Amino acid sequence: MMKLDGIAAFVATVEAGSISAASRRLGLAKSVVSERLAELERCLDARLIQRTTRKLSLTENGHSFLPRAQRILREVDEAAAELAARSGTLAGPLRLSAPVGFGTLHLGPALCTFLQEHREIEVSLELDDRFVDAAADGFDAVLRHGAVSDTRLIAKRLTSSRRLLVASQAYLEEYGHPRSLAELVHHRGILYANREGDWRFAAGDGWSVIRPKPGLRVNNGVVMKEAATAGLGIALLPTFFVHESVATGTLVTIDVGAKAEGAELFVTYARNHGASAKIAALTESLRRSFGDPPYWDRDIPE
């Protein structure tokens, strides 16, 4: 008979990339994970993973079995969560991903509040500024800043965030203070590398696109803020990165006569994941922690 712990060992090995990494994720000895994998393959009478001295790779049978195995584990987890919710207690693992900067500055404290409310939930948080695929990378939920157009995903809105043009006073004194979009084009831009280098501003019924001269491209908002503080150029950043710097005067907001395109924060998860009670509880807790409008926007004038 196929055992659930064998399925869990298989999925963890594939998602973690090795038996050693899977053993750390599951809190088991490497030999135990190996034996559970072998037992699952004997039960199925099929090789799922091709083992070599250097790497593991999925066989054709493994590729076929993986999405079903992941779905089995999700459904078991959701069934347990629903039973726990009926008894007033949510419990079990919850694997999350979020961008590094936002995760460090805002999500971390909010998660502490969530875990104080639900002490039986075991959160695993991975911070990563690359694009994380909530439908394929093995996470229960992924926090996104910006539009979510992937039809495989369900997106639950958390709150909003404005974007502001900011620079240091030293930079503006040396290179001048742009007063219009036309002047802004000639300044050095500190650009976010994981999206197009265009800056979008409201213009009538549409958008005006500005392409500044790139001075720095980087995939981390905190580094962008530090570069702007050091006088390396102008950055267009979400208020959750710069609200404190603007309040203290370390960074100066720049008014070019047009409002920059804002964005919203979402919790996203795979459409076939199901309506997890833990994800719903997380969403509500984060909404309370951030507020709407969020606390990082409240002290910055429109």
Residues 279, 140 contacting (CB under 8 angstroms): yes
- Residue 153's pLDDT is 81
- Residue 57's pLDDT is 85
Domains, the chain, with CATH or none? 4-72 (1.10.10.10), 89-161+264-290 (3.40.190.10), 163-261 (3.40.190.10)
- Residue 274's pLDDT is 60
Q: What is the mean pLDDT of each run of 10 residues along the chain (302 residues)?
A: 86 85 85 89 89 78 88 78 69 89 94 92 88 75 84 88 95 94 92 78 85 89 95 95 94 93 89 75 94 89 72
Pair type for strands 213-218 and 206-210: unpaired
Q: How far is CA 152 from CA 73, 129, 148, in A?
A: 19, 21, 10
Per-residue DSSP letter, 178: -
- Residue 273's pLDDT is 66
Alpha helices by DSSP H, listed for the chain, are 4-16, 19-26, 30-44, 60-86, 100-102, 108-117, 169-175, 181-184, 221-229, 239-248, 277-290
Report the predicted TM-score, pTM, of the whole model to 2 decimal places.
Answer: 0.71
